[in-house]
Amino acid sequence: ISQNLTEKLAERGLQLLTKVRKNMKQKVLDAFDKVLLRKRAIVESVIDQLKNISNIEHSRHRSVFNFMVNILAGLAAYALKPKKPSLNIEKT
């Protein structure tokens, strides 16, 4: 990503992690960030399950209350799922 975008995100306290491509400069990542990049597929599958299986998806809500009810219902359905993928990360 561009240096300008990196600085704008840093001002907001955000950091965007991406894999290094051929045309990118190498950057130093700490061990935890490297583990998260390796576990990216699991993170994406959890997001996919939240969107598709738990029916959390973009829809038009007429009020903030209805939006929150939709999100909470989807998260509750996901929490009650018997088998969920896990990252198994131990931060030292």
Residues 16 and 31 in one domain: yes
- pLDDT digits 0-9 by tens, 33-89: 888 888 888 888 877 877 777 677 666 778 888 888 888 888 888 788 887 777 676
Quote the pLDDT of residue 19: 77
Residues 69 and 88 in one domain: yes
With both helix axes pointing from N to C terminus, report the angle between 31-38 and 40-52 in degrees, rounded to the nearest 10: 50
Quote the pLDDT of residue 58: 65
Residues 84 and 73 in one domain: yes
Which residue matches tokens 């290094």? 20
Residues 19 and 31 in one domain: yes
Residues 22 and 48 in one domain: no
pTM: 0.48
- pLDDT digits 0-9 by tens, 10-39: 899 988 877 777 777 777 778 888 888 888
Residues 34 and 46 in one domain: no
Domain containing 65: what range?
Answer: 40-92
Find out whether 12 and 19 touch, Cβ atoms under 8 Å. no
Residues 62 and 74 in one domain: yes
At residue 7 the predicted structure's pLDDT band, cuts being 50, 70 and 90, is confident
Residues 85 and 45 in one domain: yes
- The domain tally of the chain equals 2
